[in-house]
Structure 1
Protein backbone atom coordinates (compact mmCIF):
# COMPACT_ATOMS: atom_id res chain seq x y z
CA UNK A 1 0.00 0.00 0.00
CA UNK A 2 1.39 3.40 -0.99
CA UNK A 3 1.80 6.06 1.66
CA UNK A 4 -0.96 8.61 1.82
CA UNK A 5 -1.22 12.02 3.47
CA UNK A 6 -4.11 12.08 5.94
CA UNK A 7 -6.54 14.96 6.08
CA UNK A 8 -4.94 16.18 9.30
CA UNK A 9 -1.70 17.10 7.51
CA UNK A 10 -1.59 20.26 5.38
CA UNK A 11 -0.55 18.74 2.04
CA UNK A 12 0.62 22.03 0.56
CA UNK A 13 2.89 22.91 3.50
CA UNK A 14 4.13 19.35 3.76
CA UNK A 15 4.91 19.37 0.03
CA UNK A 16 6.87 22.61 0.34
CA UNK A 17 8.75 21.23 3.35
CA UNK A 18 9.69 18.02 1.57
CA UNK A 19 10.61 19.93 -1.58
CA UNK A 20 12.89 22.24 0.39
CA UNK A 21 14.63 19.24 1.93
CA UNK A 22 14.99 17.63 -1.48
CA UNK A 23 16.59 20.84 -2.74
CA UNK A 24 18.93 20.88 0.25
CA UNK A 25 19.77 17.23 -0.29
CA UNK A 26 20.63 18.01 -3.91
CA UNK A 27 23.09 20.69 -2.79
CA UNK A 28 24.47 18.49 -0.01
CA UNK A 29 24.96 15.57 -2.37
CA UNK A 30 26.96 17.71 -4.76
CA UNK A 31 29.07 19.11 -1.94
CA UNK A 32 29.89 15.81 -0.24
CA UNK A 33 30.71 14.11 -3.56
CA UNK A 34 33.10 16.93 -4.34
CA UNK A 35 34.67 16.63 -0.88
CA UNK A 36 35.18 12.89 -1.42
CA UNK A 37 36.93 13.63 -4.74
CA UNK A 38 38.98 16.59 -3.51
CA UNK A 39 40.22 15.32 -0.15
CA UNK A 40 41.77 11.99 -1.10
CA UNK A 41 44.93 13.21 0.64
CA UNK A 42 43.29 13.14 4.09
CA UNK A 43 42.79 10.25 6.50
CA UNK A 44 39.03 10.75 6.00
CA UNK A 45 38.77 9.99 2.30
CA UNK A 46 37.06 6.60 2.80
CA UNK A 47 34.62 8.07 5.31
CA UNK A 48 33.79 10.98 3.00
CA UNK A 49 33.20 8.54 0.14
CA UNK A 50 30.89 6.47 2.37
CA UNK A 51 29.03 9.64 3.40
CA UNK A 52 28.61 10.54 -0.27
CA UNK A 53 26.99 7.17 -0.94
CA UNK A 54 24.69 7.45 2.08
CA UNK A 55 23.63 11.00 1.25
CA UNK A 56 22.94 10.06 -2.38
CA UNK A 57 20.74 7.15 -1.23
CA UNK A 58 18.90 9.34 1.28
CA UNK A 59 18.29 11.98 -1.38
CA UNK A 60 16.80 9.32 -3.64
CA UNK A 61 14.57 8.19 -0.77
CA UNK A 62 13.25 11.73 -0.25
CA UNK A 63 12.76 12.08 -4.00
CA UNK A 64 10.79 8.84 -3.93
CA UNK A 65 8.59 10.14 -1.11
CA UNK A 66 7.76 13.23 -3.16
CA UNK A 67 6.66 10.93 -5.98
CA UNK A 68 4.85 8.44 -3.74
CA UNK A 69 2.77 11.23 -2.21
CA UNK A 70 2.02 12.70 -5.62
CA UNK A 71 3.56 16.01 -4.61
CA UNK A 72 4.60 18.47 -7.30
CA UNK A 73 8.23 18.42 -8.36
CA UNK A 74 9.55 21.86 -7.65
CA UNK A 75 12.36 21.96 -10.17
CA UNK A 76 13.16 25.67 -9.62
CA UNK A 77 13.94 24.95 -5.94
CA UNK A 78 16.26 22.10 -6.83
CA UNK A 79 17.87 24.16 -9.57
CA UNK A 80 18.41 27.05 -7.16
CA UNK A 81 20.02 24.65 -4.66
CA UNK A 82 22.27 23.29 -7.39
CA UNK A 83 23.34 26.81 -8.39
CA UNK A 84 23.84 27.83 -4.74
CA UNK A 85 26.02 24.78 -4.09
CA UNK A 86 28.23 25.62 -7.04
CA UNK A 87 28.37 29.30 -6.12
CA UNK A 88 29.39 28.22 -2.62
CA UNK A 89 32.53 26.75 -4.13
CA UNK A 90 33.67 30.25 -5.04
CA UNK A 91 35.02 31.26 -1.65
CA UNK A 92 37.25 34.25 -1.21
CA UNK A 93 39.79 32.23 0.72
CA UNK A 94 42.97 33.77 -0.60
CA UNK A 95 43.59 31.18 -3.31
CA UNK A 96 42.73 31.35 -6.97
CA UNK A 97 43.99 28.10 -8.47
CA UNK A 98 45.08 26.02 -5.50
CA UNK A 99 43.01 24.69 -2.64
CA UNK A 100 43.16 26.76 0.52
CA UNK A 101 44.05 24.96 3.75
CA UNK A 102 40.84 26.50 5.09
CA UNK A 103 38.62 24.76 2.51
CA UNK A 104 38.12 21.53 4.44
CA UNK A 105 37.17 23.52 7.55
CA UNK A 106 34.48 25.41 5.66
CA UNK A 107 33.25 22.40 3.70
CA UNK A 108 32.90 20.27 6.83
CA UNK A 109 31.03 23.10 8.58
CA UNK A 110 28.63 23.42 5.65
CA UNK A 111 27.99 19.68 5.59
CA UNK A 112 27.50 19.46 9.36
CA UNK A 113 24.84 22.16 9.08
CA UNK A 114 23.19 20.30 6.20
CA UNK A 115 23.14 16.99 8.05
CA UNK A 116 21.74 18.64 11.19
CA UNK A 117 18.93 19.98 8.97
CA UNK A 118 18.39 16.49 7.56
CA UNK A 119 18.19 15.12 11.10
CA UNK A 120 15.29 17.52 11.62
CA UNK A 121 13.61 16.08 8.52
CA UNK A 122 13.85 12.53 9.85
CA UNK A 123 12.50 13.64 13.24
CA UNK A 124 9.60 15.45 11.57
CA UNK A 125 8.78 12.48 9.35
CA UNK A 126 8.91 10.22 12.40
CA UNK A 127 6.41 12.45 14.18
CA UNK A 128 4.11 12.54 11.12
CA UNK A 129 4.60 8.91 10.11
CA UNK A 130 1.21 7.75 11.41
CA UNK A 131 -0.56 10.46 9.42
CA UNK A 132 1.49 9.62 6.32
CA UNK A 133 1.09 5.85 6.34
CA UNK A 134 4.81 5.37 6.90
CA UNK A 135 6.77 3.22 9.33
CA UNK A 136 8.17 5.56 11.98
CA UNK A 137 10.97 3.15 12.87
CA UNK A 138 12.55 3.77 9.47
CA UNK A 139 13.03 7.41 10.45
CA UNK A 140 14.51 6.41 13.80
CA UNK A 141 17.18 4.52 11.86
CA UNK A 142 17.76 7.43 9.50
CA UNK A 143 18.05 9.80 12.48
CA UNK A 144 20.64 7.51 14.06
CA UNK A 145 22.56 7.45 10.77
CA UNK A 146 22.42 11.27 10.60
CA UNK A 147 23.91 11.49 14.09
CA UNK A 148 26.71 9.15 12.99
CA UNK A 149 27.28 11.34 9.92
CA UNK A 150 27.49 14.41 12.15
CA UNK A 151 30.06 12.62 14.33
CA UNK A 152 32.13 11.79 11.23
CA UNK A 153 31.96 15.40 10.05
CA UNK A 154 32.94 16.55 13.55
CA UNK A 155 36.10 14.42 13.27
CA UNK A 156 36.83 15.81 9.80
CA UNK A 157 36.35 19.34 11.14
CA UNK A 158 38.65 18.68 14.10
CA UNK A 159 41.35 17.34 11.78
CA UNK A 160 41.01 20.33 9.44
CA UNK A 161 40.82 23.11 11.99
CA UNK A 162 43.88 21.81 13.86
CA UNK A 163 45.96 22.10 10.69
CA UNK A 164 44.47 24.88 8.60
CA UNK A 165 45.47 28.05 10.37
CA UNK A 166 49.10 27.30 11.17
CA UNK A 167 52.14 27.85 8.98
CA UNK A 168 53.30 24.30 9.80
CA UNK A 169 50.15 22.41 8.71
CA UNK A 170 51.49 18.90 9.07
CA UNK A 171 51.24 18.84 12.85
Structure 2
Protein backbone atom coordinates (compact mmCIF):
# COMPACT_ATOMS: atom_id res chain seq x y z
CA UNK A 1 0.00 0.00 0.00
CA UNK A 2 1.20 3.49 -0.81
CA UNK A 3 0.77 5.89 2.11
CA UNK A 4 -2.11 8.28 1.48
CA UNK A 5 -4.33 10.13 3.91
CA UNK A 6 -7.96 9.31 3.17
CA UNK A 7 -10.65 11.95 3.21
CA UNK A 8 -11.94 10.63 6.52
CA UNK A 9 -8.76 11.70 8.35
CA UNK A 10 -8.26 15.39 9.15
CA UNK A 11 -4.95 15.98 7.35
CA UNK A 12 -4.09 19.18 9.22
CA UNK A 13 -4.72 17.66 12.64
CA UNK A 14 -2.93 14.45 11.71
CA UNK A 15 0.01 16.49 10.40
CA UNK A 16 0.27 18.37 13.69
CA UNK A 17 0.09 15.11 15.62
CA UNK A 18 2.81 13.46 13.57
CA UNK A 19 4.93 16.61 13.71
CA UNK A 20 4.65 16.73 17.50
CA UNK A 21 5.75 13.11 17.71
CA UNK A 22 8.67 13.80 15.37
CA UNK A 23 9.71 16.68 17.63
CA UNK A 24 9.47 14.40 20.67
CA UNK A 25 11.42 11.69 18.88
CA UNK A 26 14.14 14.22 18.06
CA UNK A 27 14.44 15.17 21.72
CA UNK A 28 14.27 11.54 22.85
CA UNK A 29 16.96 10.52 20.39
CA UNK A 30 19.32 13.16 21.75
CA UNK A 31 18.63 12.17 25.34
CA UNK A 32 19.04 8.39 24.88
CA UNK A 33 22.22 8.83 22.83
CA UNK A 34 23.66 10.98 25.60
CA UNK A 35 22.62 8.40 28.20
CA UNK A 36 24.38 5.67 26.21
CA UNK A 37 27.54 7.81 26.14
CA UNK A 38 27.37 8.97 29.75
CA UNK A 39 26.51 5.71 31.51
CA UNK A 40 29.19 3.38 30.20
CA UNK A 41 30.02 2.58 33.83
CA UNK A 42 26.67 0.87 34.43
CA UNK A 43 25.57 -2.67 33.63
CA UNK A 44 23.08 -1.14 31.16
CA UNK A 45 25.48 0.48 28.71
CA UNK A 46 24.86 -2.12 25.98
CA UNK A 47 21.08 -1.92 26.43
CA UNK A 48 21.13 1.88 26.37
CA UNK A 49 23.22 1.77 23.19
CA UNK A 50 20.74 -0.64 21.60
CA UNK A 51 17.86 1.63 22.65
CA UNK A 52 19.65 4.60 21.08
CA UNK A 53 19.91 2.73 17.78
CA UNK A 54 16.26 1.65 17.88
CA UNK A 55 15.01 5.13 18.75
CA UNK A 56 17.12 6.70 15.99
CA UNK A 57 15.65 4.26 13.45
CA UNK A 58 12.11 4.88 14.70
CA UNK A 59 12.63 8.63 14.47
CA UNK A 60 13.77 8.24 10.88
CA UNK A 61 10.67 6.16 10.16
CA UNK A 62 8.39 8.89 11.55
CA UNK A 63 10.35 11.50 9.60
CA UNK A 64 9.82 9.40 6.48
CA UNK A 65 6.08 9.23 7.14
CA UNK A 66 5.91 13.02 7.33
CA UNK A 67 7.57 13.15 3.90
CA UNK A 68 5.56 10.28 2.42
CA UNK A 69 2.31 11.99 3.37
CA UNK A 70 3.51 15.33 2.01
CA UNK A 71 3.03 16.96 5.39
CA UNK A 72 4.79 20.23 6.18
CA UNK A 73 8.05 19.95 8.08
CA UNK A 74 7.49 21.97 11.20
CA UNK A 75 11.05 23.00 11.95
CA UNK A 76 10.11 25.34 14.83
CA UNK A 77 8.52 22.41 16.71
CA UNK A 78 11.61 20.25 16.22
CA UNK A 79 13.85 23.16 17.19
CA UNK A 80 11.80 23.76 20.34
CA UNK A 81 12.10 20.06 21.23
CA UNK A 82 15.86 20.22 20.68
CA UNK A 83 16.15 23.27 22.95
CA UNK A 84 13.89 21.70 25.59
CA UNK A 85 15.94 18.50 25.61
CA UNK A 86 19.13 20.46 26.15
CA UNK A 87 17.54 22.70 28.78
CA UNK A 88 16.43 19.53 30.56
CA UNK A 89 20.08 18.71 31.07
CA UNK A 90 20.47 21.76 33.29
CA UNK A 91 19.04 20.13 36.38
CA UNK A 92 19.97 21.61 39.69
CA UNK A 93 20.94 18.30 41.24
CA UNK A 94 23.52 19.56 43.67
CA UNK A 95 26.50 18.74 41.45
CA UNK A 96 28.28 21.25 39.25
CA UNK A 97 31.24 19.37 37.84
CA UNK A 98 30.54 15.67 38.23
CA UNK A 99 27.43 13.64 37.54
CA UNK A 100 24.93 13.22 40.36
CA UNK A 101 23.84 9.68 41.22
CA UNK A 102 20.30 11.04 40.80
CA UNK A 103 20.89 11.78 37.10
CA UNK A 104 20.26 8.24 35.88
CA UNK A 105 17.06 8.09 37.94
CA UNK A 106 15.71 11.25 36.32
CA UNK A 107 16.96 10.43 32.82
CA UNK A 108 15.37 6.97 32.89
CA UNK A 109 12.08 8.49 34.11
CA UNK A 110 12.06 11.03 31.29
CA UNK A 111 12.85 8.40 28.67
CA UNK A 112 10.25 6.02 30.06
CA UNK A 113 7.63 8.77 29.71
CA UNK A 114 8.81 9.51 26.17
CA UNK A 115 8.58 5.87 25.12
CA UNK A 116 5.08 5.65 26.64
CA UNK A 117 4.12 8.56 24.39
CA UNK A 118 5.66 6.78 21.42
CA UNK A 119 3.65 3.67 22.25
CA UNK A 120 0.56 5.86 21.93
CA UNK A 121 1.75 6.97 18.49
CA UNK A 122 2.12 3.38 17.29
CA UNK A 123 -1.33 2.52 18.67
CA UNK A 124 -2.88 5.53 16.95
CA UNK A 125 -1.17 4.74 13.64
CA UNK A 126 -2.33 1.14 13.93
CA UNK A 127 -5.91 2.34 14.42
CA UNK A 128 -5.63 4.70 11.42
CA UNK A 129 -3.55 2.39 9.22
CA UNK A 130 -6.42 1.48 6.90
CA UNK A 131 -7.22 5.16 6.32
CA UNK A 132 -3.54 5.94 5.76
CA UNK A 133 -2.66 3.14 3.38
CA UNK A 134 -0.23 1.66 5.90
CA UNK A 135 0.34 -1.89 7.13
CA UNK A 136 -1.24 -2.09 10.59
CA UNK A 137 0.84 -5.14 11.52
CA UNK A 138 3.97 -2.98 11.40
CA UNK A 139 2.57 -0.80 14.17
CA UNK A 140 1.69 -3.84 16.25
CA UNK A 141 5.37 -4.79 16.04
CA UNK A 142 6.50 -1.26 16.89
CA UNK A 143 4.13 -1.21 19.88
CA UNK A 144 5.61 -4.49 21.10
CA UNK A 145 9.11 -3.02 20.69
CA UNK A 146 8.05 0.07 22.68
CA UNK A 147 6.83 -2.14 25.52
CA UNK A 148 10.20 -3.92 25.50
CA UNK A 149 11.96 -0.54 25.60
CA UNK A 150 9.83 0.48 28.59
CA UNK A 151 10.78 -2.77 30.35
CA UNK A 152 14.46 -2.00 29.73
CA UNK A 153 14.05 1.52 31.08
CA UNK A 154 12.20 0.10 34.10
CA UNK A 155 15.27 -2.07 34.84
CA UNK A 156 17.59 0.92 34.41
CA UNK A 157 15.38 2.94 36.75
CA UNK A 158 15.33 0.17 39.35
CA UNK A 159 19.13 -0.07 39.25
CA UNK A 160 19.52 3.71 39.54
CA UNK A 161 16.94 4.41 42.25
CA UNK A 162 18.31 1.64 44.48
CA UNK A 163 21.69 3.35 44.50
CA UNK A 164 21.12 7.07 44.00
CA UNK A 165 19.95 8.22 47.39
CA UNK A 166 22.34 6.39 49.69
CA UNK A 167 25.60 7.77 50.97
CA UNK A 168 27.21 4.47 49.94
CA UNK A 169 26.30 4.35 46.22
CA UNK A 170 26.80 0.60 45.98
CA UNK A 171 23.99 -0.19 48.45
TM-score grouping bracket, smaller chain normalisation = over 0.9
Question: Which structure 2 segments of 5+ residues have no match?
Answer: none
Query: Aligned equivalents of 1:107 and 1:14: distance in 2?
Result: 29
Deviation (angstroms), 1:43: 0.1
Deviations 1:117-142 (A, max 9, x none): 00000000000000000000000000
Partner of 2:98, secondary structure, is: coil
Deviation (angstroms), 1:72: 0.1
Query: Aligned equivalents of 1:120 and 1:158: distance in 2?
Result: 24
Question: Which structure 1 segments of 5+ residues have no match?
Answer: none
Deviation (angstroms), 1:101: 0.5
Deviation (angstroms), 1:108: 0.0
CA RMSD after TM alignment: 0.5
Query: Aligned equivalents of 2:3 and 2:80: distance in 1?
Result: 28
Other-structure match for 1:21: 21
Other-structure match for 2:165: 165
Other-structure match for 2:90: 90
List structure 1 segments (4+ residues) > 3 angstroms apart after TM superposition.
Answer: none
Other-structure match for 1:48: 48
Deviation (angstroms), 1:22: 0.1
Deviations 1:50-93 (A, max 9, x none): 00000000000000000000000000000000000000000000
Query: Aligned equivalents of 1:13 and 1:36: distance in 2?
Result: 34
Query: Aligned equivalents of 1:85 and 1:37: distance in 2?
Result: 16
Partner of 1:24, secondary structure, is: helix
How many residues in Structure 1 have an aligned counterpart in Structure 2?
Answer: 171
Deviation (angstroms), 1:2: 2.6
Query: Aligned equivalents of 1:83 and 1:167: distance in 2?
Result: 33
Query: Aligned equivalents of 1:35 and 1:151: distance in 2?
Result: 16
Normalising by the residue count of structure 1, what TM-score does the alignment of the two structures yield?
A: 0.99
Partner of 2:101, secondary structure, is: coil
Query: Aligned equivalents of 1:126 and 1:97: distance in 2?
Result: 45
